[in-house]
Structure 1
Amino acid sequence: MSQEKTLKDLTKEAEEWKAITQDNKNKNVPVSKLYVQSIINETTEVHAQRLADALNKLKSLERKLKLYRKENTDLWRNKIEGGTPTYVRWGRSTCNNGSKLLYVGQAGGTFYNSKGGAANPLCLTYDVLWGYRTKSPHSARLHGAEYETNFWGPNFDDTDVPCAVCQLKISTHVLMIPGRNKCLKGWTEEYHGYLSSETHSGDRSRGFYTCVDESPEQIKGGSGNANGFLFYDVVAKCGSLKCPPYINNKPITCVVCSQ
């Protein structure tokens, strides 16, 4: 029975017990037995309610756990299979707060007018470890990279390009979207900037698009106009490219997103 009953409740209960006592005199039922039975009934009801509440709470927790497991299946699988994805932040030496910095490096690639070599730029580590082999007669050549115009900022022409290799801390997917500087709904921005590639009038017939940070940095002391792999801005050209939404000769934005 409740210990927090008011005087009115106690008075009412006393009257009820008085009536029960009077009613049961002719039935020879001891008042003490009736009182004990009422205690048992009330205790049983309280425990039954508590058990029902506990079962409902357990079912609710089971539903939440099932939903949590469903939403995080990709995350757990990714962690088991080797960790979260990585991406390169071109033009910067730091990562977003949501990512772990693996290493800072220098952008590099094939010389801009070379007829051979690879098309893609690399983020080259400063912590170099050499092997024992020597060069062959037909080795490809790896050069540093330069901003080739002041599109990237005042006095950026002919300066060297830094880069950072970043690893996502939680997200399992990374995506670069050209033509946007904001992520799609449900995605988290790592960084945004402008699309870059080799110039359209260069001697090479191949290229590789990268997303350079909107607030790029320069490598200190790297302004010797040695060329190498060159970073130019990329603009839209209407025709087969639909305008709108694109605008002729407008620099193409880009954003790197994670989920």
Structure 2
Amino acid sequence: MRTRSALAIGVVCLLALAGCTASPGPATPPGVSENGVTDTSALVEAHTEALQSTSFTVRSTRTMRSTDPAFAVTTNRTWKIDGTETLRGSVVSSTNVTGAAPEPYRQQPERRSVWRRGRTTVERVEANGSVTEREVDFLNTSVKLNPVLQRQTIYDLTTSSNTSVDRVSRDGRELYRVDASLNDTGVTTNASMTLFVDSDGVVREIQTSRTVRYRTGPRRITQRIRITDIGTTAVDRPTWVSSSADDSSP
């Protein structure tokens, strides 16, 4: 009887140990704990390190709404970046305006495209039924790693007053959802941010919302940014760019 009792106790102990050593969930991203963001710089650097030498696609939709006068301006941008060797990238942006928007917004081009290889950068603007193309200084475009990686947007976490972290599953991938309320400033109020981050620190999606004070009244600005196709994005030369631009030296 004692032998059977000892065996039974041993089995129970083994089962308990097996439960205690079950596979844990994915590690929290650098700079993030189960309780909040502990080091924004560590998160930004991990995000940068993971993406700066590979290819990826970024899609952004930004909408600004005003109630007096009533109008909305929506800008869509798609970046494609390949940093495996000489930096190659493109961005295509389009703007849609509805309502009684001020003249500067209604005069924006319907479509703007930029192609870059190394320092060689070409821009194409489509507006009012006409098309213009020209070489531009790459420093004056958004086809640069810092803006494409959304580093400054992520750094806004340093102004957060309250954050929460939850583990979620999206598209078959385990991610960490970071929700943050941002502090008011002299021009912005009711600001919030949501990030979806993988365990390596890659920020896969950013959602922001804030009210911005303008001289003509407050406007609500929302934005959604998604980073996809990491390592599989093809950055091909657009047909409107001459082959000489693509073959130019970095």
Larger radius of gyration: 1
TM-score when normalising by structure 1: 0.26
- Which one has a larger percent helix, Structure 1 or Structure 2? 1
- Which one has a larger percent strand, Structure 1 or Structure 2? 2
TM-score when normalising by structure 2: 0.27
